[in-house]
Structure 1
């Protein structure tokens, strides 16, 4: 079952690339990633603790899932928040008031995953505080605070969910 969990984590780490395929809606990559992560969670619950190579693979794949899977999840959350139907294949939201969100999101999810996997969940508060302070001047623009809260919350929750699966595999 450990191998099955690792394969599913690998699928969840690679599935967000489906969002890059032209004419394919963003939600498909997010859905495949979420389903693979969910099944990985179920198989992880039925395994013995990972050791050796499997332990290293679990930590690596968990971090990759946290980093890569959050992007499509955030885009879907923005689309739901805007209450707009899926208009088609465009994987990028219309430009918002906050620039650099994709890169910051990747760094944020990586830091959250590292913090949780290191056994220091308090680090999430520091990560969010630093991000909030860095974005503070921009949050006065219309819709910026909404974009910030939705993006950050979705990103952190996704990273925590991925780390939960990894934690189930290593304990």
Structure 2
């Protein structure tokens, strides 16, 4: 029998892990990835929209991101928004495209990104533990029989361990990507 608190906690832990993985995907590994720029906000038609909502983003090779606006008039606005985002990219307008060449990363820069990844992983683990604590508090307030409380707390710990293990697995993969030249 699954307890409602367990279901709610599992959903919250999944969201915490997914958020951490999304943050990992934003870390620049030296390989071009559309997610590196798709969330940048561009002023278009008097409103702020994400690049992915007003342009096609592709990676023709591992060292370049190519952005093709659906409206050619947005090319300069996209280039300007990328510069303002201050991600270390230097976009070049090429006719109706915006090209973003990615430079090779130095050893020091890779080490900095490993530290960022470790910090993000720790934030994810802390969030998972906070969700576990909230679940434990809810169980204690529910005035359940003692054996039921013990069983649910054990399952909460199992969910926590699985979530933290998943974060650690993805962190190891991200570190490997970052340190591979």
TM-score bin (small chain): 0.3 to 0.5
Which structure carries more relative contact order (alpha carbon 8 Å, separation 6+)? Answer: 1
Task: Report the structure, 1 or 2, having the larger helix content.
Answer: 1
Q: Which has the larger radius of gyration?
A: 2
